[in-house]
């Protein structure tokens, strides 16, 4: 059975597979961390290639088929270019993504963590002081690891 769903997702990381496919790990509010296969996304003509950069916030449309998810469409919400173009902010930005990727289990709904993550990224983009140790402690606390 083929079902199509829409999610707001943050690209945590991606893995290039053979041929022209990319396995993208998204962090969504509704489903948590999910692996999604983007068929043909590494073709030079693919519109989705630039959208699925690590750290981008997207509306994604996925098709669930035989217990796997396939990327159908993307709509860029934020590329967080303010964070990616500043070396100090980029370092902190990618640390947040790595913490999420390493500590979240696939398909575990984590609404509180998603909201916390967006709040921290917004603060970081707006030049507010962000204590990443505090973020890490809160993340581990919500996950029950601290």
Query: DSSP strand E in 1-146: where?
Result: 3-16, 22-28, 32-38, 57-65, 68-78
Its pTM surpasses 0.85: yes
Q: Quick one: how far is CA 106 from the chain centroid? A: 12
The strand pairing partners of 11, in sequence order, are 26
**Confidence at residue 145, expressed as pLDDT on a 0 to 100 scale:** 81
Architecture of domain 3-78: Beta Barrel (2.40)
The sign of the CA dihedral 96, 102, 107, 110 is negative
122 in Cβ contact with 86 (< 8 Å): no
pLDDT (tens place) for every residue of the chain, 146 residues total: 568 999 999 999 999 887 888 999 999 999 999 999 988 776 655 566 667 889 999 999 999 888 889 999 999 999 999 999 999 899 999 999 999 999 999 999 999 999 999 999 999 998 777 888 999 999 999 988 86
Domain positions in the chain are: 3-78, 81-143
**Confidence at residue 96, expressed as pLDDT on a 0 to 100 scale:** 95
């Amino acid at each position: 059975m083929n079902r199509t769903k829409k999610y707001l997702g943050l690209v945590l990381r991606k893995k290039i597979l053979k041929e022209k496919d990319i396995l993208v790990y998204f962090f969504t509010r509704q489903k948590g961390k999910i692996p999604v296969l983007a068929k043909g996304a590494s073709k030079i003509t693919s519109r989705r290639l630039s959208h699925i950069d690590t750290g981008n916030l997207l509306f994604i449309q996925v098709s669930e088929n035989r217990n796997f998810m396939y990327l159908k469409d993307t709509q860029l919400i934020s590329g967080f270019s303010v964070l990616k173009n500043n070396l100090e902010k980029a370092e902190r930005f990618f640390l947040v993504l790595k913490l999420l990727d390493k500590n979240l289990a696939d398909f575990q709904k984590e609404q509180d963590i998603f909201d916390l993550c967006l709040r921290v990224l917004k603060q970081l983009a707006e030049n507010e002081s962000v204590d990443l140790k505090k973020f890490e402690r809160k993340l581990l606390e919500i996950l029950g690891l601290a």
